[in-house]
Amino acid sequence: MDTQKRDIARENKGKCGIYRIISNENGKCYVGSSINLTARFYMYFSLYNITNRKNSVICRALLKYGYSKFSLEILEYCSPEIVIKREQYYIDLYKPEYNILKVAGSSLGRKLSQATKAKISLAKLGVKPSSETLVKLRAHLTELNLSKALKVKVVDLTTNDTTIYDTIPQAATALHCGTKTISIYDRKLSLENNRSASPFRKRYLIKIIR
């Protein structure tokens, strides 16, 4: 899951189906489904989202062990009308250890901690977390994102300067382009592997440091 994030997102764009996340260490797994698989996988690849899904066993496992310890497979593509039925079939088949819920599409069996219940109650009452709490949360998430982020090396062929950016979004901002553009030109350079490889704007060589 750590080396094929872009492929996973691209190959499942606009598709509905059932997937399985498997631990490479012990074979334990999680079975899930979505009518928009790409959106679901982006959720798993977002540190912000999985950090805030503390009741999810699979999200806690991804945070604890890292994406490199897990693999993802598509069990079946299907129509939205039968996706829950097919998810239940695979839950019964694999008996996934990381699934809290054993009934597809149901919230039965989900246990909430007292802290979570309190947060839900406050949210219903319209009570917002303090600004101090939000600042601490943002700082924590920034640190997490930077520790997991891919750095980007940019070579300016005009000045021969080399700049290392801490994240793909930082490089995209500096070059005034989208993050997708960074990935596209990184792939071009990887495929051709030389300085004549299609420079971005005929000036920059872009390489994601993995």
Nearest in space to 78 (alpha carbons), one of 99, 104, 45, 97: 104
pLDDT at 206: 92
Read off the pLDDT of residues 113-155 as tens digits, 9 standing for 90 and up.
Answer: 455 555 545 544 555 556 776 666 666 666 655 555 678 999 9
How much is the pLDDT for 31? 96
The pLDDT value recorded for residue 150 is 78
For the chain, the maximum distance between any two Cα atoms, rounded to a whole number of angstroms, is 62
> How much helix, strand and coil, in percent to the nearest 5, is found in the chain?
45, 20, 35
Query: Is the Cα dihedral 103, 107, 108, 110 positive or negative?
Result: positive
Could you read off the pLDDT of 83-99 as tens digits, one per residue? 999 999 999 999 999 99
The whole-number pLDDT of residue 86 equals 93
Cα angle value 10/16/19 (rounded, 5°): 80
pLDDT at 80 over 60: yes
Tell me the mean pLDDT in the region 179-206. Answer: 77
CA angle in degrees (0–180, nearest 5) for 50-54-59 = 40
Closest CA to 70 of 57, 58, 56, 88: 58
Tokens read off for 50? 């999985």
Q: What is the 3-state secondary structure (H, E, C) of 93-108?
A: HHCCCCCCCCCCCCCC
Say whether pLDDT at 105 is over 70.
no
β-sheet with 204-209: strand ranges across: 161-165, 151-156, 204-209
Least trusted range by pLDDT, from 23-27, 35-39, 147-151, 153-157: 147-151
Other Cβ atoms within 10 Å of 43 Cβ, number: 14
Q: What is the pLDDT of residue 110?
A: 46
Q: Which pLDDT belongs to residue 168?
A: 85
pLDDT value of residue 1: 86
